[in-house]
Chain A
Amino acid sequence: MSYTAIGIDAFALVCLIASLIKSREKTGWALKIAFNAIKRIGPSVLTIIAVIGLIVGFVPPRWIASAIGGDKGILGVLIAALLGAVLFIPGLIAFPLARSLWDMGAGVTAIAAFITTLTMIGFVFLPLEIKELGKKFTLIRNGLSFITAIAIAVLIGLILE
């Protein structure tokens, strides 16, 4: 069990106890909201986990490497950004992969684009984001994140190259 989980569980427990002391009725409502939320998002969250497992297990890092390292120009940056947006790769795999790409001579811009869209955008998360926040919000957040990620990558390229 990670420290994050322990911290959050402890915090939730403290809040729950404080709430129970103040009002049983309101705590009941809160738990009902939480329970409804679990029912609502449960299937989507399980799907996210299922797809992440499939990506990690069945998309060989070498494919990603050859796709990103392939083109040195702006096309390479776009491909890297798109791959980062579509895939979800845990940091434990993504950062070593990015490092090895860098060592192999891939452009900094493409690597930065890949890492930034990887963190900011997740196609895996889209159905859940739409469900919770609506289509408009989701489209705007992901669309603008993509543009911003490209801007960040281009600026990093200018700074570091």
Chain B
Amino acid sequence: MTEGKTEGNGRQVPRVPWRKWIKWDLTFLALAAVTAAVLFLVFPDKGQITRHVWWEYFKEMAFILPAVLIIMGLFMVWVDRSVVIKYLGQGSGLKGILISLFLGTLPTGPLYVGFPMAAALLKKGARVANVLVFLCAWAALSIPAELMELRFMGWKFTVARLALTVALIIPMCLAGEFLYHRTGAGKSLRSED
């Protein structure tokens, strides 16, 4: 009875679980907007910093996101699956890891841009470990951030942290791939488009 409601002609219509029909991304956006409105009302003097950050990040997004997604679209259309499999697929070995590390280090903007790129690589046949390396490098090894770290934290700290990050990311991503294939079959990638 709980699985569906019966329509006029007696046919069972499968009920969509409530978690599916809520548009989560819009819900979160609305929540953020409400939170912002409340905070602005309670602390009117602090709103200025927030609005400044919003504007800066919005500009960054407006200038970078469309370009990156166009590159991703062209990649999906033009680059042959066999090429991705050859350089980043199951048999790509150390070379594949190094290519992923290099691709992730390219100065290509904020982390949120990396996710659709990573999904595109995965869909084209890159192995999970390489996509993990790509994303971790993207997140942890951006050149502008490292220059800033060097300036404030000194070379000893920066070099030690960077070397350890690169050295540990690789075994971590291999372990991640192992876990990915071992744990529940669960839906792992969007299947539309």
Contacts and interface: CB of A to CB of B under 8 A. Distances in A.
B161 A112 contact: yes
B94 interface: no
B4 interface: no
Nearest to A100: B152
Contacts, number: 243
A91 B70 CA distance: 28
Contact of A50 (B33, B47, B74): B33
Interface string B168-193: 11001101100110011011111001
A21 interface: no
A90 to B, nearest CB: 8
Contacts of A38: 65-66, 69
Contact of B115 (A7, A27, A133, A151): A133
Contacts of A51: 32
Contact of B71 (A11, A46, A129, A148): A11
A53 B37 CA distance: 13
Interface SS of chain A: helix, strand, loop or mixed? helix
Interface string A122-161: 1001011101111111001100110110011001100110
B153 A49 contact: no
A34 to B, nearest CB: 4
Interface string A57-99: 1100000000000000000000000000000001110011011
Interface residues of B, number: 87
A140 B179 CA distance: 8
B53 A52 contact: yes
B65 A156 contact: no
A49 B61 CA distance: 9
Interface residues of A, number: 79
Given A120-B140, A134-B187, A19 B78 contact: yes
Contacts of A1: 59, 63
Contact of A46 (B29, B49, B139): B29
Contact of B77 (A26, A128, A140): A26
A12 B118 contact: no
Interface in B44-63: 46-51, 53-54, 57-61, 63
Contact of A16 (B70, B132, B183): B70
Interface of A: 1-2, 4-5, 7-9, 11-13, 15-16, 19, 26-27, 29-34, 36-38, 41, 43-54, 56-58, 90-92, 95-96, 98-99, 102, 108, 112, 115-116, 119-122, 125, 127-129, 131-137, 140-141, 144-145, 147-148, 151-152, 155-156, 159-160
Interface of B: 23-26, 28-29, 32-33, 35-36, 39, 43, 46-51, 53-54, 57-61, 63-74, 76-78, 107-109, 111-112, 115-116, 118-119, 122, 128, 131-132, 135-136, 139-140, 142, 144-145, 148-149, 151-153, 156-157, 160-161, 164-165, 168-169, 172-173, 175-176, 179-180, 183-184, 186-190, 193
